[in-house]
Amino acid sequence: MTQFNLRGLTDKTWRKRQWRYWLSDPFWGALDYICHYSLRVIPIAANAAIGRFLGPLAAKYRFTKEHQRAEHNLALLRPELTQAERTEMLTQMWQHIGCHMAEYSLLDKLFAANRVTIINEQVLAPFIAQKQPMIFVFAHTGNWELCGNYVIGYGFDVMGLYHPVRNRFASRIADSARERMGGVIKLIPSGSEAMRKMCKQLAGQGALWLAIDEVKKQQLKSSCFWACIGITQ
């Protein structure tokens, strides 16, 4: 008992993890759960509009650090813009994020309603016929699960590399949304075993699904790059 008390008093990282696990994650998880399943009963157009409204509010009250980081980086990348122009760009960014987060509750309905437009579909035809290994690389600017289901529909055996959601409650929501989609993308978490599994997937004439994602919290190790332009991580 003494050891527990001393650790709680002296280890700031431990206290932060305990706070997050027992209080913060359950609170935000419950809020996400309520929002997610409430938004499922709303028509697609109204769902997106609500998401665009909630996005900037989430930036202001929940994702304050992320918003500050975006402000800093945008000022470095676009110094020629006025403060008002940068603020407008950030608002549009959070509206976009909010829209897609809201639409996450309707992934299965969006797919059923055929809301995705495939451009240059003919490019895939030779690869579909030959059944050869494929690596799909895409920018993570929206809900990738929608496009993933279309790729599966072309006959590809897809394995996707992803970073699991830290909040265990939010992770369950994401898993449920993907299950409702009915797709069979095999997801593997990034880690020491990921490369072996990806090589095995390609050796078996399968396909890989890789996202070009945003950089955050040291996910990309490139000290020279950051030192040169000063972008916060």
Mapped onto helix, strand or coil, the DSSP state of residue 229 is helix
Mapped onto helix, strand or coil, the DSSP state of residue 11 is coil
Mapped to the 3 state alphabet, what secondary structure does 67-133 carry?
A: HHHHHHHHHHHCCCCCHHHHHHHHHHHHHHHHHHHHHHHHHHHHHHCCCCCCCCHHHHHHHHHHCCC
Position 221 scores a pLDDT of 42
Q: Are 212 and 161 in contact (CB under 8 A)?
A: no
**Domain residue ranges of the chain, discontinuous segments joined by +:** 2-112, 121-212
Q: Are 98 and 54 in contact (CB under 8 A)?
A: yes
Nearest to 145 by CA among 106, 171, 113: 106
Residue whose structure tokens are 């600017």 = 141
In this structure, how many other beta carbons lie within 10 angstroms of the beta carbon of residue 50? 18
Measured over the CA atoms of residue 23, residue 27, residue 30 and residue 36, the dihedral's sign is negative
| CATH number for the segment(s) 121-212 | 3.50.50
pTM of the model: 0.83
Position 227 scores a pLDDT of 44
Measured distance CA(219)–CA(41) in Å, rounded = 36
- Kindly list the averaged pLDDT for each block of 10 residues, start to end, along the chain of length 233: 54 91 97 98 96 98 96 96 98 97 96 89 84 87 88 89 91 94 83 90 92 64 42 44
Measured distance CA(106)–CA(104) in Å, rounded = 5
Q: How many residues does the chain have?
A: 233
Largest CA distance in the chain: 68
Q: Which residue blocks in the chain are alpha helix, DSSP H? A: 2-10, 12-19, 25-39, 44-61, 64-77, 83-103, 107-112, 125-130, 144-153, 168-181, 194-203, 223-229
Measured distance CA(219)–CA(57) in Å, rounded = 26
> 39 — phi, psi (to 5°)?
-70, -20
